Structure formats: C-alpha cells, structure tokens
Amino acid sequence: MSYRVVRRAMLLGSALLLGSVLLTRGSAPAQNNPAVDGKLPLIGSAGGNSFTRMCPSGHVLTGLRYRRGAVIDGLGIKCTPVYSSGNLGAEVSVGTMVGGNGGTPGSDGCKQQGVNISVIASQHGGSAGFGIADLGFLCKEWFPASRSWGVANRWAFKVRSGTVFTSNADCPLGEWPAIGIYGRHGSIVDAVGLVCGPV
C-alpha cells in the first residue's frame, strides 16, 4: 500500500472522529434539560436569593401553599407518599414557606379522586417585570406500576391568575414527576420552577 493511500486513510479517520466529537457536543442537552439536572426553566423575574424546597424521599409533589396579592408573596409545597405498590398516600405539607408575609394565604393541588389520581408534572406562567404575575400547574395522570406520568390532564390549578404568559415546560414524559420547587425569593417570590426526579 502506498504512502498516499495510508495518509488519506489516516486523514479520513481523523475527520470522522472529529465530526463525531463535534456532533456529540452539538447535541449535548441544555443546562435546564430535566433529563440532566431535573430543573425546569424558572418563571419570574430577576432578584432575590436562591431557594429549594424538596419533597421527602419517596414522595411526589401534588400541591402548593401560597400567599398572594399583586404578586406571589410566598410559596410552600405539599407532597404525597408513593407506596411500594406505586399507589399514592395522603398529602402532607412539607417544610417552611419561602418569601414574605404579605398577601392572602391559600393552597391548591391535584385532586385524588376516582380516575383523577395525578401528580404535578407541568408548569406555566410569566412575569410582568416584577415577581411572578401568572403561575399555574397541570396535574397529569399517574401510573402506579411504572411510577410515571402520562399525557392525560387530570387537573389544573392556578397559584396566581394573570394576563402574562411567557413560558411552559413539562417534566420528562412517561418518566419523572415533580418532586420539589426551586427559585429565588426575598420579600416576595421572584422566580420559581419545578424540580423533576425519579420516585
């Protein structure tokens, strides 16, 4: 075999290897891809200090506690245990609320009756430039055997109703449900997003 043939084969092999590396890098998931770090993009505005509120191990996120007025003043979570069968237990409030003491208190979440057995797996909302002007969640059908959620919407609820809608995002379909929230807060809740994960 001549030197030229060997040299061309080496160059071709190097080009294919480089192309493969570049393709792999180009297809790398984004930082907020829930399949990588479990966090959906934040809804809200800049400012505040970071927070995370997570359900205990073996629980799923099924509701939110809140204080609200012109914006969302405070947020807390409600979680439901997942039994070894995959069935859901009784919902409980978990941890302290983040944010301030203003606004009117309330809570809402997934309805666990009849065929409406569901978990939080989708978020939507937006900001008018200060805090969170609009925030809602979708409760999706829960499959106990696989401990995963499906496309069917079983319930929807709003933490705050507004006219600003800038983003929506889902946990990985057929896989992880929401297991907590993260974001930024000060005297109000500046931004929030779901944390998705295996149960």
Q: Give mean pLDDT in consecutive 10-residue pieces for the chain, a chain of 199 residues.
A: 40 38 34 67 94 97 96 96 96 96 95 89 91 94 95 94 84 95 97 96
Q: For the whole model, what pTM was predicted?
A: 0.81
Burial of 171 (0-12, 13-18, 19+ CB in 10 A): buried
CA angle at 66 for the pair 62 and 68, rounded to the nearest 5°: 140
- Which structural domain range is residue 11 located in? 1-30
**Does one domain contain both 142 and 121?**
yes
Is 54 in the same domain as 146? yes
Looking at the structure, tell me whether residues 25 and 112 fall in a common domain: no
Which pLDDT score, from 0 to 100, does residue 36 have? 55
CATH number of 109's domain: 2.100.10.30
**95 and 7 housed in the same domain:** no
